[in-house]
Amino acid sequence: MTFKKENYYTTVSQAKDLVPGFRDSFSRFEERVVLNRLSKSLVTNYGRNIAHLALHFGRQPHEVSPEEINTYLYRKIEHENLSASYFKQTVFGMRFWFRLFGKDEHALVLPVIKKEKTLPEVLSKEECRMLFKAPRTLKHRFLLAFAYSAGLRMNELRHIKISDVDCDRMQVRVRQGKGKKDRYVILSKFIKSRLAHYLKEVNPQVYLFEGQTPGEVMGERSIQYVISEALQKTTIRKQVSMHTLRHSFATHLLEDGVDIYTIQHLLGHVRLETTLVYLHVAQVIPKVGRSPLDSLYGF
């Protein structure tokens, strides 16, 4: 069973009205998300599933035992064709909720979520060229090329300001990326050569890529539409999203000889292990090792 995001407000509102104490508890949940500087989407993703659970039991979530939650999830998997995404969000949400209300021991006995080890989908360089050429508007062509050129996440791309692009230092400042950290990424020479024309023709006011309202960031759905519309005009048959361009950026850098630590920094990965996955995707010919003694004496 899947639930559309539009149902979030209805579901949470029903739980607030029908489950005693849920309104105050949910406010506490929202406060903690803000104070911990976590993503606002966490409230939506976890909150909807937590509210569904509260409505099912007619009690506040932290008053439901882990055994009851496990039975609840089992029934949904077996009888309601529960999606993997809904299952994960419910478990993660309840772990967060239990810890918030001082029930760490309950959080520990919830089902273990095994991380699926899948390799990322990556476009070839020729497919990238095909995709960037497909959109009918300059704005959309520039957006796709820019996202790939710096390996940006969706939210990072949306919040790039015109002032963040430094043509003198050939850098782009990414503000408050994942983990609430700023970083600098490379500015492509190709992008720099076309930036002035883009700014003149599209005329953004604050952000490099704006929505219908000047000065406001472009919506995620609008960007997803740009990608899907462009794909329809190509012969590419892969599942492509904004993150596919980021995966392709990292893989192509590796194939061009850039070291893995530099790629880790450019992507903003905290753990090197996250970046190492690209070694399994990139078409890199291993180099034969050489003794440092030989280089020391010029052999």
Q: pLDDT confidence of 4, banded at 50, 70, 90? A: very low
| DSSP code for 172 | E
Q: What is the pLDDT of residue 292?
A: 62
Looking at per-residue pLDDT, the higher value among 149 and 298 belongs to 149
Using CA atoms, how far apart are residues 165 and 171, in angstroms rounded to an integer?
Answer: 6
Using CA atoms, how far apart are residues 258 and 283, in angstroms rounded to an integer?
Answer: 13
Looking at per-residue pLDDT, the higher value among 108 and 194 belongs to 194
Distance between start and end Cα atoms, the chain:
66
Mean pLDDT in residue range 152-156: 92
Active-site residue, from 95, 106, 158, 246: 246
Active-site residue, from 56, 99, 161, 243: 243
The question of whether 243 is a catalytic residue gets the answer: yes
The question of whether 141 is a catalytic residue gets the answer: no
Is-contact 164 172, C-beta < 8 A? yes
Chain segment 15-31, per-residue pLDDT in tens: 999 999 999 999 999 99
Q: Looking at 80-152, list the stretches that DSSP marks H as alpha helix, in order from N- to C-terminal side.
A: 84-100, 104-108, 125-133, 138-150
Token code pair at residue 28: 């506490």
Nearest partner of 10 among 51, 38, 43, judged by Cα: 51
Using CA atoms, how far apart are residues 125 and 81, in angstroms rounded to an integer?
Answer: 39
Using CA atoms, how far apart are residues 122 and 266, in angstroms rounded to an integer?
Answer: 18
The question of whether 269 is a catalytic residue gets the answer: yes
Active-site residue, from 16, 59, 161, 269: 269
Q: How many CB atoms lie within 10 A of CB 262?
A: 13
Mean pLDDT in residue range 80-105: 87
The question of whether 153 is a catalytic residue gets the answer: yes
Chain segment 109-139, per-residue pLDDT in tens: 888 776 666 788 999 999 999 999 999 999 9
Question: Residue 139 CA to chain centroid, in angstroms?
Answer: 22
Q: Looking at the chain, list the stretches that DSSP marks H as alpha helix, in order from N- to C-terminal side.
A: 8-18, 22-35, 40-57, 66-79, 84-100, 104-108, 125-133, 138-150, 154-158, 189-202, 220-232, 242-255, 260-267, 272-276, 292-296
Mean pLDDT in residue range 67-92: 86
Which residue ranges form the domains of the chain, and what is each CATH number? 5-108 (1.10.150), 129-238 (1.10.443.10)
Nearest partner of 156 among 184, 127, 191, judged by Cα: 184
The question of whether 261 is a catalytic residue gets the answer: no
Active-site residue, from 153, 173, 194, 265: 153
Tell me the one-letter amino acid at 14: Q
Using CA atoms, how far apart are residues 61 and 92, in angstroms rounded to an integer?
Answer: 13
| DSSP code for 280 | G
Using CA atoms, how far apart are residues 174 and 159, in angstroms rounded to an integer?
Answer: 8
Token code pair at residue 244: 């596919």
Q: pLDDT confidence of 10, banded at 50, 70, 90? A: confident
Active-site residue, from 161, 178, 192, 194: 178
Mean pLDDT in residue range 201-206: 96
Active-site residue, from 148, 198, 207, 278: 278
Chain segment 176-202, per-residue pLDDT in tens: 766 667 899 999 999 999 999 999 999
Which residues fall within 8 angstroms of residue 182, CB to CB, at 6 or more apart? Answer: 173, 174, 175, 176
Is-contact 207 196, C-beta < 8 A? no
